[in-house]
A and B are shown apart, each in its own frame.
Chain A
């Protein structure tokens, strides 16, 4: 296979973005068409790529990229295997639907061209992450998705909260990316390569110092923590919901946030090394704790998008946990199904918000089942998949595989997973009961009407894989399913999740049926464990501390030296450079002369 096909897939969206940006003002109306056209084409090409690849794993190169002599020779290359093609399909499929949905959702927006350019840029960078055959290239696209996500979150930058959220997302991600970069450099140092294949063959062939390896893996994992919003860098994702809802669906639910998981799966051969057991443990626990923590937070949110955002965090936690448990197939399986139903839920919520005249508070909705029957139906399908209704939904199958892995691994993680499943069932029931049942509690919900067909279409389309996505006849075509180990499989996970589901749903139903106000108030959860506040005070404390240190240094140097009678010296140290540059030409001339003398003396002393 040549590199032509993947290169086309990669650069098509970039071309679209460039084209949109370069469109003259009066033709900006064409922007959506260009963008949608490119994404549809990319989807078709991805299907072709998937069909051609099958179960092969190849690496193709487009050309030389960086050539630093002996230090580093790097190509623009694509590593194409079932994992990559499967991910490509997810990205382009959901991307296409989100583009379609956006056509209606952003119809009246002034910055439409900018929005679609951002979407195309995102598609380009995400494709890059998926196809890249080396960490350096992946890192670049990693940064680019960060930029496009920043641009899209801050799309309504006139709104202060949107601008702040964009900034927060950007900065938080930089922290993770910094770790990622260090990790790449450490791996490069250890193995002399940054391509996946190169690193793999290198670690197979030699032993890397265990401490170094663990540190490198954890640094790389930092990148995933930032991008997939794991504890403790999760704070940006809920705020990122300030962006347009289709963006939340595409970027902050289905694809980009999953990039962290995808990247960890790409390098999972490292985790499988015996020396990396500690790192794997840390990763699994990070995922598990995030899952539990986010689910807890979700139970007390009132903003429909925030609930879904925390649910996304929680599901990502599952995936990361699976990666840490060396169950990469399970992780990717869940990524695959989650993408569909979470996109469905987000687009559904978008439709609801649109219908309710941009109302996001679930307590101001109510009775929507009668007003928007079709939307409600699709949303319920998504909910069913998320809470893993047994046998008929995709979420059931994928979550089962993760719980199996956790159970097989033993220990506390399994219980954390099961508890999270219970919480998931509970908060989703709460959401549905409050929003869809009862009577409209606000003007917006009262005048809600069914959304236009172009918005409904993606919902209906997404509902299909949300249901069948987990069946092996479907999923098995696109990805490697976890080995079904029926003989030894314990029934414990299944029973546990059934109990969790039943108890969660019934508890939610009992608590919230017919309520107008939230009967439970746990401010710890509603305020998300005060982590935002903690960070805010940490940052300001840090600034204070730096200021104080500088202050003490000032005192130490200026006063300390002054006391010792060296104030003249201190003055020279402090203001010297500035004083020299006083603007006096004569002084400059004099200093020039001094410089000449110094230079001459140095030169002649080198004799």
Chain B
């Protein structure tokens, strides 16, 4: 998965980058599922791979973007980016080194007798009781985005 992540960055062809990203997201979803977050894993695939990445590919193909292949990479940017990335990784390793809780291995889930762990149900319950207000905010966000997409893209009839 990480390799495909790198692939997104190093591929000169946008389509290839996008496909790498798809694979990366699928890998991420499998990690979610390995962490017992089944619902999120599925959503990740449905939304990201199913909708978002399709949109990306759609746009890339529509715009016919192969131009960057002809442009040289900025060596300074690459070098600088690499340095910054290395610094970040170093920092991360340092932080993780001081994080004793991180050594824990996956603890088993404790499910009460006679029940099954259904995370969709648990999340749904939480979502529509405690966080029902947040759902409305998301609704407004989607509304704003819809209006924005239409206003930015729709050509008004010029008659």
Contacts and interface: CB of A to CB of B under 8 A. Distances in A.
A604 B88 contact: no
Given A593-B81, A604-B94, A586 B74 contact: yes
Contacts of B80: 590, 593-594
Most buried by B among A596, A597, A601: A597
Interface size class of B (residues with CB under 8 A): 10 to 19
A566 interface: no
A272 interface: no
Contacts of B77: 586, 590
B74 to A, nearest CB: 7
B84 A594 contact: yes
Interface in A9-52: none
A600 interface: yes
Given A600-B91, A604-B91, A604-B94, A593 B74 contact: no
B87 interface: yes
B88 A590 contact: no
Contacts of B74: 586
Interface in A569-590: 586, 590
Main SS at interface, chain A: helix
Contact of B81 (A590, A601, A604): A590
A597 B84 contact: yes
Interface in B130-154: none
A265 to B, nearest CB: 64
Nearest to A607: B98
Interface string B76-91: 0100110010011001
Contacts of A600: 87-88, 91
A596 B88 contact: yes
Contacts of A604: 91, 94-95
A413 to B, nearest CB: 76
A593 B74 CA distance: 16
Contacts of B87: 597, 600-601
A593 B91 contact: no
A586 B75 CA distance: 13
Nearest to B74: A586
A600 B85 CA distance: 13
A597 B77 CA distance: 16
Nearest to A603: B91
Nearest to B87: A597
User: Which 7 pairs across A and B sit closest by C-beta, in order of nearness?
Assistant: A593-B84, A597-B87, A600-B91, A590-B80, A597-B84, A586-B77, A594-B84
8 contacts: A586-B74, A593-B81, A594-B80, A597-B84, A597-B87, A597-B91, A601-B87, A601-B91
Interface of A: 586, 590, 593-594, 596-597, 600-601, 604
Given A586-B74, A597-B84, 9 more contacts: A586-B77, A590-B81, A593-B88, A596-B84, A597-B87, A597-B88, A601-B87, A601-B91, A604-B95
